[in-house]
Amino acid sequence: MTALIQTIDTADGPFTLLVDHDQRVLASGWTADRDAIIARLATSGWRAEIRPTEIRDGKTDAASAVRAYYDGDLTAIDTVAVRQSGTDLQRTGWEALRRITPGEPLTYTSFAAELGNPRAVRAAASICARNAPALFVPCHRVLRSDGSLGGFAWGLDVKESLLARERAA
């Protein structure tokens, strides 16, 4: 399957998107390193048929949503289709992440409760860690119980910037 890859500039640095032929985001993140984005496919549990030789440079529809998000339309990312593969719990978790309201982050404990088991904090954290289409599935909206940032694949400075942007709106 052929996929498109595109890097755009954002206030938080370069943002690269990998999308399939149906314009669904497979992986994305704050880097210009395309190999790092492609590597996120394995992290997400997705067993793609995509080989690096089938990835082409191109313009993605999702790039417009990223630009709109950075211009203040925080809901622009909500309608962008994503494609993820994982366990039932992971897919449920990724869907739940998309329902977190901008500016109203959850703790890992409350996110685990959303998944039906408030004691499954490690599972909740793992769902966030294996999320390949960053921003579109906003795992940055999950914090530690004490309100600290926790982890983020693209750096805590980016996570803090995203949360500050969403709080300000």
Catalytic residue among 134, 139, 142, 163: 139
> What would the pLDDT profile of 101-124 be if each residue is shown by its tens digit?
999 999 999 999 999 988 999 999
Residue ranges covered by each domain of the chain? 3-79, 88-168
d(CA 113, CA 117): 5
Top mean-pLDDT range of 1-5, 43-47, 48-52, 101-105: 101-105
Per-residue pLDDT of 140-168, as tens digits, reads: 999 998 989 998 999 999 999 999 999 99
Active site residue 139: yes
Query: Looking at per-residue confidence, does 47 or 113 come out higher?
Result: 113
The alpha carbon of 13 is separated from its chain's Cα centroid by a whole number of angstroms, namely 15
Could you tell me which residues are beta bridge partners of residue 27?
Answer: 18
CATH class of 88-168: mainly alpha
Backbone angles phi, psi at 2, to 5 degrees: -85, 145
Pick the residue with more confidence: 1 or 80?
A: 80
* pTM score above 0.85: yes
Q: Which residues contact 88 (CB under 8 A, 6 or more apart)?
A: none
What H or E segment, with its residue span, contains residue 3?
Answer: strand 3-10
